[in-house]
Structure 1
């Protein structure tokens, strides 16, 4: 499929262009090569398929696991999810996923499968993630897979349903951003330090509307696992995705993995294509950032945003050192974190240490931590976890755990006093039993330090695996180089094994019923599916009270915390909207001063926020669901997190970007308890008492869909012919993408029709 233009293109441009199914009015329709599914963001998607009589279009391009909700305690006595998971809502989500994969005939790594793990670790581990592919998942850290030169991004639940039904997504083209890190990294500085340093420079909104390409000699010299850590946190910089051009390091990593192209002609053809996936000389970027590697030191966070970074040799900042508009947020962060300005970071005492997550739960991360323990002991430093600290190591997958144990890493950790766990997301987001208690302070390898992220009232400092290990041994944040000293660059005598010793072929569940005659003759699942659309409520004029908010970077954890994500429904979340701000975390009582706890704002249908980057953070669609359920159908702000903005449109809501001066005027009206009206037909916000209306403009296609309550899946299914034509070309040009490893070569796997016979998930 030749590019539509000969002009120099970026890596992002090339992958995007190679997946265009249709381009007309509205967003471009992109084909999705790889879809990863987990238990938290999928129940409502499968229910939507069921209600519309639709099937999964490409089961051979879909991989499912459980990770967010599951306990990480020993599975020695595991028999089933129903008996092993104690928390009712978590158990219900996991059980629902097992029912769904059986009904729809999907490949599933369950808790009794050694290949189970965090969704963004098992994809690359299995070779499911490949260069030049489009990869999506109902999780914002899908950006991880961009390390392979894939276009990978998080999606909301409505889009999960969309991909399951059509294998496509309507997408607007993002801007191109390049971040180059040149030079040699100092001893003790890792990829986690690089990405924290970057986010500290560009901020959590610096990449909004962009796909970031990470480049430069420091990036090229990183291993694949280190590259994944950097791309993983692209979303923390506000970007839609992060990408790194594939090279020899990429190809070596992928060779021989179960779902990689097969050795021989297929591999040679794939590699030849992958080598074209680099930005052309002269390609234009909308934003460029250059960073010197030697400027990066071991880095930690001090506040409640990933942009709140400082070198470990620095101090807790003072609010006065920030622009005046940012100071209220800084004051709130310091109060929440219990920190005083001027406190040296290496004197901050911790209560817990967590090593794991999709950012840093791979074998190299575990080796890095083990080397710190070994080097500290050699240098006469601490060799055991400090007495007041609880420390846990959570491998990112069952195969990572198996490999670590074969290398003896578990022995090193347990001897030092670390708790050695089973694979899962664990304390990264605390949707499982691994949580912080109020005011407990944690040194963490995870990706977010939002308020309550690891447990209500918990305080999180982000850092590298080596820094977490050093903090656990010392009992406080510390420069890892003080423990490793002259032994910092040594291997530590670890036994290094190859991943290939732990991989096994992936098999696919057979269809629960035989293909119909029509399907055997070539009718696709989309042609066979009903084109019925559930539809959305029309958005014409929304009038009412507007809740005024002034905060910047209102993240999705503030809008709806993770403890409310265990619902199987899209409704019922309004009472939990803005829970951390609206209720006392200890008593559950309303905080009288919070806007939604006051009259007339208890009945708001609009929200005016004067701070930028509203809805940053997770891809969870629960945030707009909660706003919608409360009754708020329009949020007005200077800017929005990309995924949140998209999720609002998917739910018939209007995320309205307005100039600061207009927002300030509307904020005054809202603060006075006056009603506003958002008139989408005429594209104005009507103000009270004869004040001049505020005009606005939104994308014409978005406006058309909102006014008419149009459902995206129904719109996509109007392009059935284009989808099938694209798939024919895809199979001819990139045959290794047609589920090789899941099914016999050249044979597509047909999804299980709704209502078909069921098969035990454990038989696979």
Structure 2
């Protein structure tokens, strides 16, 4: 009898199947994580959890840490230590905490005195830590960046960060397959940032919810790795769990020779495997989107969501043209916040500041693109007088040195731009680089949420070339006016090869201060699965419900970035919806629903708009809701990461049809209590109104009802994890020890004997 023909699989299917450690029936799969990136904002509570449970980091050779979100990007000439250099107390505390944690647990760390320090999603690919075919996670939603290499990469919350540190695995439910194909020839001046903004404008910020997106077609095949990373980076802004591009010769040439990739025979074996990582010809996708490249022009956002896009040649939309009441209300809200009038030409919008940087657009190719526009504007080109400040922030110390070797810093500084050190900078403004209330910024970052770059600040997303054009002209400007050449052609600037800046030797990391031997007993003596582990149970919740008639409620709206500078999971009640509860100009209380009685005592939040909790992976969002007293959110749909984070914290996100959400919101507006019963899976109303049933994932329902802890459950699969690791080492030896042919040689600070700690 002939062997059965294997079922055609997508790229996502293949990587998923290769990483399943264990799965029971239709429940979530326990998948192995090959690469874990760590930074200072989402890790303190995770390390504290390990410390409290007496658990080590399972795979220090597969973990890499750096600082990026909080750190100043000012000159580090006089830098001696983070504790003396960082002025803001809470930022300093998080950075110092990470330094202490990596020392205690033996994790490789690129600190502020290491030129390899940079934005976490820049340094992973730069060092070759990111490889095709891997699973890669980080406590940051833009981990989707790494999918450009043909890897499954996604953001996680702090509880899941702890889970990966302890077990090197995650419990995950498989997503749907979605393919976005862009074929044809891009127009002059159109870059990868324009392409991904155009895509988000078409499918919306919830268009990819529940999906892993594969980008296909001639446009993506023709993109450089930097361009592919920019597209995959913003997959999360379309609601997707992850974005991917199948690896090819472009991928392999980018990786060849980088410090952490396999060498010699191992390289040849790795490339042979990587070439198999593509969707089969007959593979089925749940959702298909096809776009003509010729339809894309230089694009910019006008509102407070990445889906609020317009061609640079377009105008600000009119809310009256939207038939859906929730959508119309959203557009009205955005225009009010952005201080824009319907019908205004996009090119007439005057700006106050320009930011070129972020994990989306701070690579060498991005900086070259912006410098090219400055040169095209003429030898005497200067930042426009009305632009108060224009800054360029390289994504890593290596990119900074690379750009300086090419003279890009001179081009920028001569025109009046500020040339900074590596960091996240004004992308989210957790550091000193922020907008003031009312200031308008042309930004190459990834989010334009309310207050994202500073309370009351207004953000327009665009490409590095468009940002440079805006800086010179003083307003949003069609970059094609400065260029008579194709922006996608090789730069005429001096070009230096990247490998000249990747020469630091590889040295072993120090042994962790707390050894695995001292924590072995804690791992062996875990409670059985059916024994509650201390997580808070959720059975029946009865109380006041607060109505919220907003769609795309993002995590920046739920809790602004200034409240992420905490080492604890508690004390965040006052931070919940802070920018809606406080006027950014006067700091006085507004009329927002949670400021009014009886909703100050709300236990349930009823949302009528779709996509609640979109945006960041910050677990601080459910922490703040829970701290306020809200343990259940009812909405038509949720951002994937928020839903996971809520469940990790004993909270219940309930998905209902929009009509039912509106009905419950009316009850809430009348001050009526609701009762959410997880055991019976129904929401009970007062006044003899019929109960509304809801669906719940059986596994998560079981965990909530019994207060079960994911890490304790997972560590009972220790033998399965060990078996998987043995198979992994045999089949993909380059994944052990950062890919040095199976040798466990983590990276440490180059100039050796003086480690960061």
- Aligned equivalent of 1:52: 53
Task: Tell me how far apart the structure 1 counterparts of residues 666 and 547 of structure 2 sit (CA, whole Å).
Answer: 8
CA drift of 1:321 comes to 2.2
Are positions 1:639 and 2:637 aligned together?
yes
Change (3 A) 1:512 1:557: closer
The 3-state SS of whatever aligns with 2:510 is coil
The 3-state SS of whatever aligns with 2:359 is helix
1:626-666 CA-to-partner distances (Å, cap 9, x unmatched) read 00000000000000000000101100100000122222221
- Aligned equivalent of 1:450: 449
Task: Tell me how far apart the structure 2 counterparts of residues 698 and 202 of structure 1 sit (CA, whole Å).
Answer: 27
Task: Tell me how far apart the structure 1 counterparts of residues 384 and 4 of structure 2 sit (CA, whole Å).
Answer: 60
CA drift of 1:505 comes to 3.2
Task: Tell me how far apart the structure 1 counterparts of residues 536 and 311 of structure 2 sit (CA, whole Å).
Answer: 49
CA drift of 1:750 comes to 14
- Structure 1 range deviating more: 691-700 or 453-462: 691-700
Task: Tell me how far apart the structure 2 counterparts of residues 5 and 166 of structure 1 sit (CA, whole Å).
Answer: 35
TM-score by structure 2 length?
0.96
1:245-270 CA-to-partner distances (Å, cap 9, x unmatched) read 000000000000010011x2101110
The 3-state SS of whatever aligns with 1:484 is coil
Unaligned runs of 5+ in 2: none
- Structure 1 range deviating more: 703-712 or 656-665: 656-665
- Aligned equivalent of 2:436: 437
Query: Is the Cα–Cα contact under 8 Å of residues 146 and 233 in structure 2 kept in the other structure?
Result: yes
Task: Tell me how far apart the structure 1 counterparts of residues 358 and 146 of structure 2 sit (CA, whole Å).
Answer: 15
Change (3 A) 1:5 1:453: farther
Query: Is the Cα–Cα contact under 8 Å of residues 548 and 670 in structure 1 kept in the other structure?
Result: yes
Task: Tell me how far apart the structure 2 counterparts of residues 175 and 92 of structure 1 sit (CA, whole Å).
Answer: 40
CA drift of 1:586 comes to 2.1
Query: Is the Cα–Cα contact under 8 Å of residues 40 and 566 in structure 1 kept in the other structure?
Result: yes
1:115-168 CA-to-partner distances (Å, cap 9, x unmatched) read 000000000000000000000000000000000000000000000000000000
CA drift of 1:351 comes to 0.5
CA drift of 1:484 comes to 1.6
- Aligned equivalent of 1:598: 596
Query: Is the Cα–Cα contact under 8 Å of residues 375 and 492 in structure 1 kept in the other structure?
Result: no
- Aligned equivalent of 2:145: 144
The 5 A counterparts of 1:16-415 are 16-24=16-24, 26-262=27-263, 264-325=264-325, 326-377=327-378, 383-389=381-387, 390-415=389-414
Task: Tell me how far apart the structure 2 counterparts of residues 635 and 252 of structure 1 sit (CA, whole Å).
Answer: 47
- Aligned equivalent of 1:616: 614
Task: Tell me how far apart the structure 1 counterparts of residues 693 and 285 of structure 2 sit (CA, whole Å).
Answer: 31
Task: Tell me how far apart the structure 1 counterparts of residues 524 and 83 of structure 2 sit (CA, whole Å).
Answer: 32
CA drift of 1:515 comes to 6.7
The 3-state SS of whatever aligns with 1:377 is coil
Query: Is the Cα–Cα contact under 8 Å of residues 201 and 309 in structure 2 kept in the other structure?
Result: yes
Task: Tell me how far apart the structure 2 counterparts of residues 219 and 750 of structure 1 sit (CA, whole Å).
Answer: 32
Task: Tell me how far apart the structure 2 counterparts of residues 5 and 74 of structure 1 sit (CA, whole Å).
Answer: 61
Task: Tell me how far apart the structure 2 counterparts of residues 100 and 487 of structure 1 sit (CA, whole Å).
Answer: 48
Query: Is the Cα–Cα contact under 8 Å of residues 149 and 277 in structure 1 kept in the other structure?
Result: yes
CA drift of 1:701 comes to 1.0
Query: Is the Cα–Cα contact under 8 Å of residues 443 and 461 in structure 2 kept in the other structure?
Result: yes
CA RMSD of aligned residues (A): 2.1
Task: Tell me how far apart the structure 2 counterparts of residues 63 and 501 of structure 1 sit (CA, whole Å).
Answer: 22
Are positions 1:762 and 2:721 aligned together?
no
Task: Tell me how far apart the structure 2 counterparts of residues 487 and 653 of structure 1 sit (CA, whole Å).
Answer: 51
1:567-609 CA-to-partner distances (Å, cap 9, x unmatched) read 1100011111111111111222211x21111111100111111
Task: Tell me how far apart the structure 1 counterparts of residues 489 and 513 of structure 2 sit (CA, whole Å).
Answer: 57
Task: Tell me how far apart the structure 1 counterparts of residues 661 and 191 of structure 2 sit (CA, whole Å).
Answer: 41
CA drift of 1:323 comes to 2.7
The 3-state SS of whatever aligns with 1:39 is coil
Which structure 1 residue ranges, 4+ long, deviate > 6 Å from structure 2?
A: 513-516, 524-527, 748-751
Change (3 A) 1:370 1:675: same
Task: Tell me how far apart the structure 1 counterparts of residues 131 and 459 of structure 2 sit (CA, whole Å).
Answer: 33
Count residues with an aligned counterpart. Answer: 744
The 3-state SS of whatever aligns with 2:585 is coil
CA drift of 1:667 comes to 1.1
Query: Is the Cα–Cα contact under 8 Å of residues 56 and 515 in structure 2 kept in the other structure?
Result: no
CA drift of 1:508 comes to 3.1
- Aligned equivalent of 1:685: 683
Unaligned runs of 5+ in 1: 752-758
Query: Is the Cα–Cα contact under 8 Å of residues 102 and 761 in structure 1 kept in the other structure?
Result: no
- Aligned equivalent of 2:549: 550
The 3-state SS of whatever aligns with 1:289 is strand
Task: Tell me how far apart the structure 2 counterparts of residues 676 and 455 of structure 1 sit (CA, whole Å).
Answer: 36
Task: Tell me how far apart the structure 1 counterparts of residues 513 and 556 of structure 2 sit (CA, whole Å).
Answer: 42
Query: Is the Cα–Cα contact under 8 Å of residues 536 and 710 in structure 1 kept in the other structure?
Result: yes
Task: Tell me how far apart the structure 2 counterparts of residues 243 and 441 of structure 1 sit (CA, whole Å).
Answer: 33
Query: Is the Cα–Cα contact under 8 Å of residues 58 and 749 in structure 1 kept in the other structure?
Result: no
Query: Is the Cα–Cα contact under 8 Å of residues 122 and 363 in structure 2 kept in the other structure?
Result: yes
Task: Tell me how far apart the structure 1 counterparts of residues 735 and 152 of structure 2 sit (CA, whole Å).
Answer: 15
Task: Tell me how far apart the structure 2 counterparts of residues 213 and 278 of structure 1 sit (CA, whole Å).
Answer: 10
Query: Is the Cα–Cα contact under 8 Å of residues 527 and 720 in structure 1 kept in the other structure?
Result: no
CA drift of 1:395 comes to 0.1
CA drift of 1:530 comes to 5.6
- Aligned equivalent of 2:418: 419
- Aligned equivalent of 2:507: 507
Query: Is the Cα–Cα contact under 8 Å of residues 357 and 428 in structure 1 kept in the other structure?
Result: yes
CA drift of 1:527 comes to 8.3
Task: Tell me how far apart the structure 1 counterparts of residues 371 and 198 of structure 2 sit (CA, whole Å).
Answer: 24
1:282-303 CA-to-partner distances (Å, cap 9, x unmatched) read 1000000000001000000000
TM-score by structure 1 length?
0.95
1:66-91 CA-to-partner distances (Å, cap 9, x unmatched) read 00000000000001011100000000
